[in-house]
Amino acid sequence: MRSEAVPEHEAAASYGTPTDEVGAFLSRRREQIAQRWADEPLFRTVFTVSRDEAVEACRSVVDALAQVADSGRVEDSDSAGFTVVREQLARMTAARSRSGMSTAQVSGEVDALRAPVVNLLVADLPDAPPEHLRECATTLTVLMGTLRLVVMETALTEVQALIDRQQMQLLEVATPVIRLWDGVVAVPLIGTLDSARSQVVMETLLQAVVDQQARYAILDITGVPTVDSLVAQHLMKTVAAVRLMGAECVVSGIRPAIAQTIVHLGLDLGTVVTRAGLADALAYALHGLGADIVHATPGGAGQR
Site of interaction with another protein (CB under 8 A) = 202-203, 206-207, 209-210, 213-215, 237, 240-247, 287-288, 290-292, 294, 297
Q: CB of 183: closest distance to another protein in angstroms? A: 9
Are the C-beta atoms of residues 183 and 289 closer than 8 Å to each other?
Answer: yes
- Which residues, 6 or more positions from 259, have their beta carbon under 8 angstroms from its beta carbon? none
Closest to another protein by CB, 59 vs 215, is: 215
Are the C-beta atoms of residues 43 and 57 closer than 8 Å to each other?
Answer: yes
Closest to another protein by CB, 165 vs 237, is: 237
One-letter amino acid at 136 equals: C
Task: Give the whole-angstrom CA distance, residue 284 versus residue 268.
Answer: 22
Q: CB of 198: closest distance to another protein in angstroms? A: 11
Q: CB of 84: closest distance to another protein in angstroms? A: 48
Closest to another protein by CB, 12 vs 171, is: 171
Q: What totals of helices (H) and strands (E) does the chain contain, helices first?
A: 12, 5
Closest to another protein by CB, 157 vs 207, is: 207
Task: Give the whole-angstrom CA distance, residue 88 versus residue 144.
Answer: 16
Closest to another protein by CB, 146 vs 175, is: 175
Q: CB of 292: closest distance to another protein in angstroms? A: 6
Q: CB of 271: closest distance to another protein in angstroms? A: 8
Q: Which residues pair with 178 in a beta bridge?
A: 186
Element (H, E) at 108: helix 103-111
- Cα–Cα nearest to 48, from 103, 101, 95: 95
Closest to another protein by CB, 127 vs 292, is: 292
SS3 content of the chain, % helix, strand, coil (to 5): 60, 10, 30
Q: CB of 267: closest distance to another protein in angstroms? A: 16
Closest to another protein by CB, 6 vs 296, is: 296
Task: Give the whole-angstrom CA distance, residue 257 versus residue 56.
Answer: 60
Q: CB of 236: closest distance to another protein in angstroms? A: 9
Are the C-beta atoms of residues 190 and 221 closer than 8 Å to each other?
Answer: no
Are the C-beta atoms of residues 150 and 89 closer than 8 Å to each other?
Answer: yes
Element (H, E) at 118: helix 114-124
